[in-house]
Amino acid sequence: MQRRTLAASAIGFGAAAYACLLTAGPAKPKVPAVHGAISRMAVAFDASPALVDIPQFIPNKKVVIHPAVVSKDDTAGSVKGPATGLSATPPNLPPPRPAGAGRGGRGARAGGPPPVPPPPPTPDIPPAAAAIEQKVEGKRAAIAPSVAFDGLGEGFTGRIFPGGENAADDAPAGRGGRRGGIDISVAVGPQHVFEVLDGSFAIFDKKGKLLYGPVPNNTIFTAFGNRCGTTNTSDTVVRYDQLADRWLFVLPIFTRPQGNPQGGYAMCYAVSATSDPLGSYYRYEYQRPLFPDYPRPAVWPDGYYNPTSTSDNLLPEVITQKHDCIADREKMLKGLPATEQCVIIDGGVFMLNSDVDGKRVPPKGAPNIMMSTGGTQLMKIFEDDGIYYYKVHVDWNDPSKTTVSEPQKIPVAPYHYLCDGQLSNCVSQPGTERRLDSQGDKLIQRLVYRNFGDHEALLAEHSIDTSAHGGGVRWYEFRLDKQRNPVLYQQSTYAPSDGLYRWLGSMAFDKKGNIGMGYSFGGVPNYPGQRFAARAVKDPEGEFGFHESVLAEGQASQQGSLRWEDYTNIAVDPADDCTFWYVGNYLVSGASTSRTRIGSFAVPGCK
């Protein structure tokens, strides 16, 4: 996620822009900044009339759902590309940065790194929350990884692309994917594993052999668009669309056009023309007037749903602002002209749209279910006892008929954001005061949907504080009733009572209904690393019956930054619909930055 402090000049411009954009009114009291938050100012917001006004997350504020707006198409150049296919495309390298410029053109931080803040106070966990904690690991033997290999990050040396054999380590073409980073995404197809880390991606076979990369994320958009082909960013996400056997690649543009400080941002979509990720893609670019942070695309039959967020700062009048945008999947799969519609939601919390796993589709015309936690970190509301859902319906013939329902509460056991939410000094590490971020204010990718024939189910998870004063993964299975409303079926917090941290979890079903979950593991005396656990469909409700397994044993502490992954995800292999693939960060001995570990596992008996 692009959560970084803007230069003073940008902040000044943002304030001026707000003065022009906002409707005059009485000044609102300033709310203190959240502990550990890093600010980014937005410079625009949707002021269209509300479709729905309801009180929900913010005291004395209403959630405001605006009408859908069609994004401006900024497609330029050949939709199909790059050139004769991705495997024949060299890295799309950015122009040289000005001397002395930091990452992304920002100047280096003056005065060295900021002091390490103290961790947030430990909250009291109510009995109703403690009662659903799984405090003992499962009794079945741990499942061994089927495959495990290091992916992108510190120590990565592979280079497979045109000219890669001649790219020096210190040259721009040779540096991609070689340093630690955040913003991790993995997708798996019948024969390939596709990984994104920060600003680079690579494609492997299923034994870990590098087939292409690492190259900048915007290499897929080479010679295309007004912004997509010339701007590289992190926060890029890859998905495998199992319904169509295609790859979906989504890249946000976080900068305004050069020389146009009031121009729009952008969102870039690429859909593979075949099931081969090394071939050609159909490419699309849309203008976004609002900052499109933290895209989390999801596959649904009638569209590619892509929720984003305007800002991590309090926004005047609206406090928080999210977007749910939908791209025309049917047209994109054919390489035809396609549109994107966006609905702005003021006062909401980070959202996830339901993402289809498996080949069995939801009923025709079924709305996409979108969910969020409760609470509002920016208002220091760190607790709630509900998960909230919206129903999203898109109309490609008449955008005025695209609708997002008002959020509805599903009562769940109470929870407190792990360490009060994102960008806090949270997970302890050996030998350093530096702790790691939890991203505890939001549901973590993905919101998995699966149609089992006799029922339809959703999986959601987030990181919360535990009664042992550590961190755990709170997870939920919801099932859809006849009115297509999600109803809580089971819930639990995976938190073996050792006072350690299990956080940033990601979960999925296999075709039998078994659940696989990967997550970060840490807390003194353990270095941060990666583990996974599994639940058989016949296990008691709320219980992971298999002992946790180690994917990556941490060997060093991360001292340079509190940022840890920001997000990752688990994916189900479409080749057998049984094997789970997961990726996460860890550090080897002597390293100062992280690398990724990619691994697969399956629940015994799934065939």
Longest Cα–Cα distance in the chain: 64
| Distances, alpha carbon 160 to alpha carbons 49, 90, 210, 434, in Å | 51, 9, 7, 36
The residue ranges of the chain whose pLDDT is under 50 are 3-48, 98-110
What confidence score (pLDDT) does residue 234 get?
93
- For 590, other C-beta atoms within 10 Å of its C-beta total 7
Cα 96-102-108 angle, rounded to 5 deg:
150
Q: Is 319 a domain residue?
A: yes
116 domain residue, yes or no = no
d(CA 505, CA 320): 25
Encoded amino acid at 59, one letter: P
CA 342 – CA 326 distance, rounded (Å): 6
DSSP string of 61-108, one letter each residue:
-EEEEPPPEEPPB---S-SEESTT-GGGPPP-PPPPPPTTB-GGGPBP
Reading phi first (left if > 0) and then psi (alpha if -120 to 50, else beta), residue 301 is in: alpha
The whole-angstrom separation of Cα 288 and Cα 299 is: 21
> Is the residue at 102 inside a domain?
no
The confidence score (pLDDT) of residue 172 equals 59
Nearest to 17 by CA among 49, 42, 48: 42
The tally of domains found in the chain comes to: 1
Residue 360 falls inside a structural domain: yes
In a domain, 479, yes or no: yes
Which residue in the block uniquely carries the two structure tokens 């009794």? 139
pLDDT score, position 12: 31
Residue 196 lies in a domain: yes
The structure tokens listed for 312 are 């991590």
pLDDT reported for residue 107: 36
Alpha-carbon separation of residue 98 from 9, 59, 94, 106, 108 (angstroms): 18, 46, 12, 10, 12
Residue 543 in contact with residue 535, Cβ under 8 Å? yes
Rounded Cα–Cα distance for residues 491 and 477 (Å): 6
Range of the domain at 340: 8-88+128-601
Q: Is residue 185 part of a domain?
A: yes
Q: Is residue 105 part of a domain?
A: no
Whole-Å CA distances, 248 to 175, 194, 318, 334, 513: 25, 11, 32, 13, 25
**First vs last Cα of the chain: how many Å apart?**
37
